[in-house]
């Protein structure tokens, strides 16, 4: 029998920032709300069932306007997981949080946002990541 495989290429049309922070997620969301004049609100956790391997439970905060959406995602599963790499984006596991900006922020360019995030004392390191270069970029599509 002939086996067919489906190869799908996703084009990610959002900006992605990796953040290293020892702060708890709700504290970081509060700091981002104050610094960037946002309203990040805790959403239902994202659950990825990986068949027989286990599951990932990812904490998710959302700020949505008519012009753009911004998500703060924890990169590591909040529940204990039997997976070797319990990360939303295992390619960039050195980051504790991911900040996803869809459709571009009207008030901030990616460079300005990078400067503002790096100025926060709760953020030890921040860098912009090209989501199209990630092996597991489909985990970031909602």
**Percent of the chain, pLDDT > 70?**
89
pLDDT per position as a tens digit, 109-136:
888 999 999 999 999 999 999 888 888 7
Q: Could you give the number of structural domains in the chain?
A: 1
Report which secondary-structure segment, H or E, holds 116: helix 110-118
- pLDDT confidence of residue 62: 94
Name the region of 75 (left: φ>0; alpha: ψ -120 to 50; beta: rest).
Answer: alpha
Contact status, residue 6 vs residue 20, Cβ threshold 8 Å: no
Q: Is residue 1 part of a domain?
A: no
Residues in the chain predicted with pLDDT less than 70, given as ranges, are 6-11, 51-52, 104-107, 142
Question: Which range of residues forms the domain containing residue 50?
Answer: 14-135
Query: What's 22's domain CATH number?
Result: 3.30.310
pTM metric for this prediction: 0.85
**Tokens of residue 57, six digits:** 């439970």
């Amino acid at each position: 029998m002939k086996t067919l495989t489906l190869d799908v290429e996703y084009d990610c049309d959002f900006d992605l920032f990796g953040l290293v922070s020892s702060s708890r997620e709700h504290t970081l969301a509060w700091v981002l709300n104050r610094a960037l004049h946002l309203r990040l609100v805790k959403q239902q956790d994202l659950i990825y069932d990986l068949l027989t391997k286990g599951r990932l439970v990812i904490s998710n905060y959302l700020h949505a306007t008519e012009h753009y959406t911004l998500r703060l995602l924890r990169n590591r599963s909040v529940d204990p997981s039997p997976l070797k790499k319990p990360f939303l984006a295992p390619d960039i596991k050195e980051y504790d949080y991911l900040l996803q900006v869809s459709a571009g922020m009207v008030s901030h360019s990616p460079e300005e946002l990078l400067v503002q995030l790096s100025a926060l004392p709760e953020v030890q390191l921040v860098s912009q990541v090209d989501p199209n270069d990630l092996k597991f970029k489909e985990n970031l599509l909602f």
